Amino acid sequence: MLKPITPAHIHWDEFGLPLNAQDVYRSHLGSKDLGLDQAQKVFLQGCQLSGRGALWETQDHWVILELGFGLGLNFLATWQEWKNNRLRPKRLYYVALEANPARAEDILRSTQVWPELMPLAQVLVDDWWGLDAGLHTLRFERGQLHLLLSLGQAQETLHSLQLVADSVYLDGFSPTSNPEMWSFDVLSAIAKHSHKTTRLATWCVAKEVVNNLHALGFKCEKVTGLPPKKFSLVAKNNDNLPDRQSILPQKCLVLGHGIAGASVAQQLAACGWQVSVFDVAKGLSPASQVPIALVYPHVNQSGEGLGQLTRQGLRALFNHLPLLPDFSYQMSGVDEQFQGRKAKQFAENKLFQTPDWLKACSAKGWLHQPAG
C-alpha cells in the first residue's frame, strides 16, 4: 500500500521568504539573493555546470541527482543554466528525491523574488499535480528535459533507483535536523549511483559527512562558501568507481504501428534509439482506428502496480498531446461507477484515493478529474 505523502508546510517571514530553509541560513533570509546565489555558487559551480567549459557541454545526455527538492530553486536555476548554454547536453535528466513536496502556490510564491525564474516556475507548477508516493516523470522543453521526482524517504527510494548520476546536489536539511539524509547508508547508495568523475556538491562541511565521503573513495575539497558559511564542499574523482559510459545508439524493432506501437517508437526515438516499425497494415492498426476514446487511470486498493502505472502513463499522455498537430482532445473527466466487490471497497473507503485524481460524485462511484 502506498504511504500517503504529506505536503510541506511553508511559513513566510515579513520579506515574503520561506522560513524552513536550511538551518544555517535561517537568520539570513532577509537577503532575497541568497537562495539563488546558493543554487548557482554551491551547486552549479560546485558541479562545474556553469560558465565556459562546463562539464556537460556537447554531451548527449546528463544526469543530475538531488537529495532535497524543496521549493525547486536548484532545479529552476539548473534549467535556466541549461537553456542559456548553446552547447548544452541534448537531454537533461534531473532526478530529485523529496519526502514532503511543496504546494504549487508555495513554489510560485518563493520564486517571485527572482523574476528571471518566474516563467520556468509557472511551467513547472502547471504540471505540479497528482503527486502521490513513488516516481513521477515531468517532461519539459519538448521532451529534452525530464524531471524525475521520487516522493518518499531517501533511504527507501535510493536503493530502488536505476541510474548513474553525473552530478549530485546534496541539499537536505542539516545533519543535526535530519541525520538520516547524511548517513553512511545514504551516501553509500549515492556512490553506487555514481561513476569515477561524478561530482558531488553541498553547503554542508560537517566532519562526519566529509569522513563518510572519504571512506567511500571520494576526494573532498572545501571551497569558498556563501556567507555566513565560510566553506562549501565538493567531492569528486572516486577511483573506486567505474568510468563514465557513453551510451551508444541502441536499436529496436517495433511490431505493430497502432497507438501503442507508435508511442513506443516515438519515445525511444526521442531518447536517441534507432527504431524500425513493421506492420501488415498500411494505415493505423485496426484496433487503433476507433473514432473516439476515453482515457482514465486504473483504480485499485493499494494504489501500486497497475494503478500507479496508469497514473504515470496518463501524465505522460498529457505531456505529449499538446505536441501533436491538429489533434482534438478535451480532459472533461470520466465518471466511473462501481459494481460488485469494487463497489463494496469503494463504500468502505478502501480504494486508493488521491484528491488530484479523484472526486467522489455519487454513492457508487467517482469522477476521474484529469481524464477524458
Share of the chain above pLDDT 90, in %: 43
Check residues 328 and 351 and name the one with the higher pLDDT. Answer: 328
Structure confidence by residue, pLDDT tens digits, 152-162 = 887 778 888 88
Mean pLDDT for 153-172 is 89
What is the residue-averaged pLDDT of the chain?
84
Order of strands across the sheet that contains 134-140: 134-140, 145-151, 91-98, 61-67, 165-170, 194-202, 231-236, 219-224
The whole-number pLDDT of residue 49 equals 98
The structure's pTM equals 0.87
Residue 103 grid cell: 504546494
The whole-number pLDDT of residue 27 equals 35
Q: Which CATH architecture has domain 23-236?
A: 3-Layer(aba) Sandwich (3.40)
Share of the chain above pLDDT 70, in %: 83
What is d(CA 357, CA 371) in angstroms, rounded to the nearest whole number?
Answer: 9
Per-residue pLDDT for 24 more than 50? Answer: no
Structure confidence by residue, pLDDT tens digits, 198-253 = 999 999 999 999 999 999 999 999 999 888 789 999 999 999 899 988 766 689 99
CA distances 43 to 177, 202, 253, Å, are 21, 7, 40
Q: Where in the chain is the domain with CATH 3.40.50.150?
A: 23-236
Check residues 102 and 343 and name the one with the higher pLDDT. Answer: 102
Per-residue pLDDT for 23 more than 60? Answer: no
The whole-number pLDDT of residue 41 equals 94
Structure confidence by residue, pLDDT tens digits, 208-217 = 999 999 999 9
Closest CA to 175 of 187, 163, 161: 187
Structure confidence by residue, pLDDT tens digits, 250-283 = 899 999 888 788 888 888 887 778 999 988 877 6
Yes or no: say if 34 and 226 are a contact pair by the CB < 8 Å rule: yes
Structure confidence by residue, pLDDT tens digits, 29-59 = 334 557 899 999 999 999 999 988 999 999 9
The whole-number pLDDT of residue 289 equals 65
